[in-house]
Structure 1
Amino acid sequence: MARRSLSLRDAVDWVRTHRPDDWSEPAGEFGREDVAAHYADTFAGVPANSVSRDERLARYRVSDSPIPVLLGLYGSAERVGQLLPGLPQAITPATARAMVSAARPPTRTAEPPCRQVRDLKLHDLPVLRTTPRDAGPYLTMGIVYAEGHGCGHETVALSVHRMLVLDSDRLAIWMVPGRALRALHEQGGRLPVSVNLGAPPAAMLASALSSAVLPAAKLDVAGALAGSPLALADAVSQPTSVLAESEIVIEGYLDDTTADEALSGPPAASLPEFLGYDGDARTGLPVLTVTAVTTRRDPTYQAVIGPGREQSVILGLAGALSVALSADTDLISDLHYGPSGGGMLLLVVAVRKQSTADDGRLGALARRIFEGHGFVKLIVFTDDDIDIRSTDDVLWAMTTRANLGSDCTTFTGFRPLGMDPSQRPEWGRGGAGDRTWIDATAPFARKGDMVRSFRPAGAR
């Protein structure tokens, strides 16, 4: 099996060899505050800007560091699918369960590539400041690994968080409520952690899966996505583990130390978020004290600019798998989170009706999805002849197979999402906790009348 999903550098080599048009190395050197802006203007897509496109993989040379910066690996869902042989082409409850059934626990190695070089400091890494409004330079693609006990059993947290560089050995970390890492930290005491940068693609996607619906450990599922077990190793300065194939590993611990998300005065913004707007700076964030930084030889620093196709693909693929794992129904023939919702707010569900009774099942399915997946704001149901990854095709279905006055339903009483400006109290038009679903499917009895004039070869 090709190693393209077992390490970042293998994935990059595969893209450069098999999809050379997806690769770019911008000429010249860039300042750390200029990389993200160049990528946003040149390569990024919605919601970073108004351009609908897949994103290229780009490697930047940075003026004050020998370590290059990599952006865009996950900027194409098709490309990610080629990198991860275990990722289902169509995401349904059946294919998601089959993926989990192929879970493969990680192996352990005594000589991990990630510690070929030691004795670095945080400031040796080309950590980006995405915009001039940011509170400071942020780590944006570090997978945090931690082990502990929760609910009477061993818990392993594997998740990505924004981390502000405070100085040469401290990071301020924002943990969304409900995440496993936050639960472990809130138990008190010192929590050893590793931050894995440039981690294997399978680990990145697995880290975004919902632990609440996952019947297996995330790293085991990463082995299923990769088609081969990932490797762990002991950390060098903390009693925890690291992802052995990572480009860069930061080791340290969380305790009761806190800091505000500011380097000089109270900023209004943290950094650009996945929906395309600046995030809010936080106060009293946990501090990660760094005890070691190790790398592979000739490492690459991986980052994300925040909004754009890359973030939407990671969140969207993991979100679709999470919904599929929680949905006990034969209706779903595919799931897709649109980049228009940052990979989290807009969910398109293709359904395959078998009888007139299925016409009345969509509302209950929508409510179950809303109740189990708190970020979903809008669900659009389509027939399975619609390309749910094409915004134009989904809008065509909404236009010709729905009358929104009768086919659009809103549920009330859900928790508003503060990241969405339209759900904040100051929006002024109400509806902050509303969730809406649209039935853009043909009634079962009318399906024979709703056949496209030009059908793809092989279509039913």
Structure 2
Amino acid sequence: MSEHKNKIDQQPVQDLRSAIALLESIDGEFVSTDVAVDPHAELSGVYRYVGAGGTCQRPTRKGPAMMFNTIKGFPGVRVVTGLMSTRQRVGYLLNCAPEKLGFLLKESVSKAIAPVVVGKEDAVCQEVVHFATDPDFDLRTLLPAPTNTEEDAGPYFTMGMCYASDPETKQSDITIHRLCIQSRDELSMWLTPGRHIDAFREKAERLGQALPISISIGVDPAIEIAACFEPPTTPLGFNELSIAGALRGKPVELVNCVSINERAIAHAEIVIEGELLPNVRVREDQNTNTGKAMPEFPGYTGEAKAALPVIKVKAVTYRKHPILQTTLGPSGEHVSMAGIPTEASILDMIERAMPGRVLNVHAHTSGGGKLLAVLQFRKASPVDEGRQRQAALLAFAAFSELKHVILVDEDVDIFDTDDILWAMQTRYQGDVDTIFIPGVRCHPLDPSQVPEYSPSILQQGTSCKTIFDCTVPFHLKASFERSKFKDVDVRKFLPDFK
């Protein structure tokens, strides 16, 4: 990270465009094309090869972020993807060593800076305004929302920062949900159970009210990372925009919407304003009848939902020559956005319970940043034996959607899969080092969580959570010391070695 530190200091990131400018200044982190691309499946098909990574079907790879400058049927709008598809790139964007990102986010929660509201004159997101009452208004021709595959339920906005407020307390929340275009002025919205905006929606629905909601697309990556925090780290009423404020050392700027009583991110590229309608539901694939929704983080295409809440769009505003930001569902970008806040939550809970024992946490790519965590645990004395498993239990409590925990010692690099698997091959015996916790609610997108898969699963969405203890028993540590190589200055032999 140090080789780019001066560049980062000279180019502070405050919105999407400054984030892109930063990445353009770093070799190998950003590419663009002027070749016309179809947003229907082709755009995602291209980026799958260029840099999607994550749980995408192979061949894929970790690669640069990519800008598509020419979108078929949408002159004047560009599309960018993959800004956070690698941990290294998130490190550049947040000015932090990649292995320390979990600690950075953990500290930011405790140093929260509340957002502020600015006037319309300072809100570049409202340079151009389209009201849905205009007879020519049509989301389908206004914005190039991509489809990830040819069997998606429809075009999706996958990087929309959804912002809404409790209809009674007025406390606000921001989060990311899949949003499918259903008509000229309607979006379906899938809210996984437990999300705060869903709690707001349910309360408004009980009151017979629509819930105003803004969807800001193309923002400072610090906001996108912060929006992925979940309880218990950020309980109901905690505005995650304040974490983004802490990451940048200044408050996120909001602006009053033009058509609804809600606020949006002032420096967003695009804002969709609307209302979640009470007691209105729509079948997600009503326009395609594919039975499929879109590719999700585990690497599979999710099923289309039969009855989803509907957002009635009231207006769309955007910057001149806007950039629509999108992500591939199973890409490494999801790992960064979901996984790093997960790491922060686990670090926070375990550090409070047993200070100094968990040295680091990695929400692994193979679990999409949600299903698998690797914990680096230090046993300092005989009484620490067994506490590593207690740390794993705390990790499950810190993040309810976590399915598997792998425990390793302090000499294992948790960001190197080969090293993790080496520990499993040489410091793990399945019959004594595997701990099963069956019948626990997990993430609904794991396709193995169905009764047909295992007789232990009584209801879809529950799982057998598992701890793989790949740590050496404390009394045997002397027999498991790694081979020690001589420390040398490699640059004496290879001056350009990094």
TM-score by length of 1: 0.93
RMSD of the alignment, in Å? Answer: 2.2
Match of 1:200 in 2: 220
Match of 2:471 in 1: 441
Secondary structure at the aligned position of 1:293 is classed as strand
Match of 2:30 in 1: 23
Contiguous gaps of at least 5 residues in structure 2 = 1-8, 131-136, 489-498
Match of 2:322 in 1: 299
CA deviations over 1:332-369 (Å, ceiling 9, x no partner): 11011111111110100111222111111122222232
Contact 1:86 1:227 in 2 (8 A): no
* Aligned AA (1:7): D
1:341 pairs with one of 367, 388, 397: 367
Shift of 1:454: 4.1
Match of 1:59 in 2: 67
CA distance in 2, matches of 1:168, 1:210: 32
Contact 1:85 1:227 in 2 (8 A): no
2:385 pairs with one of 339, 349, 359: 359
1:238 aligns with 2:260: yes
* Aligned AA (2:480): M
Matched residues, percent identical? 31
Match of 2:495 in 1: none
Contact 2:154 2:287 in 1 (8 A): no
CA deviations over 1:6-33 (Å, ceiling 9, x no partner): 211110000001x231212235111111
Structure 1 pair 211/200, CA: closer, same or farther in 2 (3 Å)? farther
CA distance in 1, matches of 2:387, 2:24: 46
1:393 pairs with one of 407, 419, 422: 419
Which deviates more, 55-64 or 336-345?
55-64
Match of 2:22 in 1: 14
CA distance in 1, matches of 2:381, 2:265: 48
Structure 1 pair 309/235, CA: closer, same or farther in 2 (3 Å)? same
Match of 1:210 in 2: 230
Structure 1 pair 273/105, CA: closer, same or farther in 2 (3 Å)? same
CA distance in 2, matches of 1:255, 1:411: 39
Contact 1:146 1:156 in 2 (8 A): yes
Contact 2:106 2:344 in 1 (8 A): no
Shift of 1:200: 1.3
Shift of 1:255: 1.8
The aligned length equals 454
Contact 2:49 2:59 in 1 (8 A): no
1:44 aligns with 2:52: yes
Structure 1 pair 3/263, CA: closer, same or farther in 2 (3 Å)? farther
2:338 pairs with one of 286, 299, 315: 315
2:434 pairs with one of 408, 415, 426: 408
1:378 pairs with one of 385, 404, 417: 404
1:136 aligns with 2:162: no
Which deviates more, 75-84 or 37-46?
37-46
1:277 aligns with 2:300: yes
TM-score by length of 2: 0.86
Match of 2:107 in 1: 98
CA distance in 2, matches of 1:251, 1:206: 21
Contact 2:51 2:85 in 1 (8 A): no
Match of 1:260 in 2: 283
Which deviates more, 399-408 or 199-208?
399-408
Structure 1 pair 102/438, CA: closer, same or farther in 2 (3 Å)? same
Structure 1 pair 4/268, CA: closer, same or farther in 2 (3 Å)? farther
Secondary structure at the aligned position of 2:385 is classed as helix
Shift of 1:315: 0.9
Secondary structure at the aligned position of 1:163 is classed as strand
* Aligned AA (2:27): P
CA distance in 2, matches of 1:205, 1:455: 39
Shift of 1:3: 5.5
Match of 2:92 in 1: 82
Match of 2:43 in 1: 35
Shift of 1:372: 3.9
Structure 1 pair 76/91, CA: closer, same or farther in 2 (3 Å)? closer
* Aligned AA (1:403): Q
Which deviates more, 349-358 or 39-48?
39-48
Shift of 1:451: 2.9
Secondary structure at the aligned position of 2:275 is classed as strand
* Aligned AA (2:423): A
Contiguous gaps of at least 5 residues in structure 1 = none
CA distance in 1, matches of 2:486, 2:58: 30
Structure 1 pair 413/262, CA: closer, same or farther in 2 (3 Å)? closer
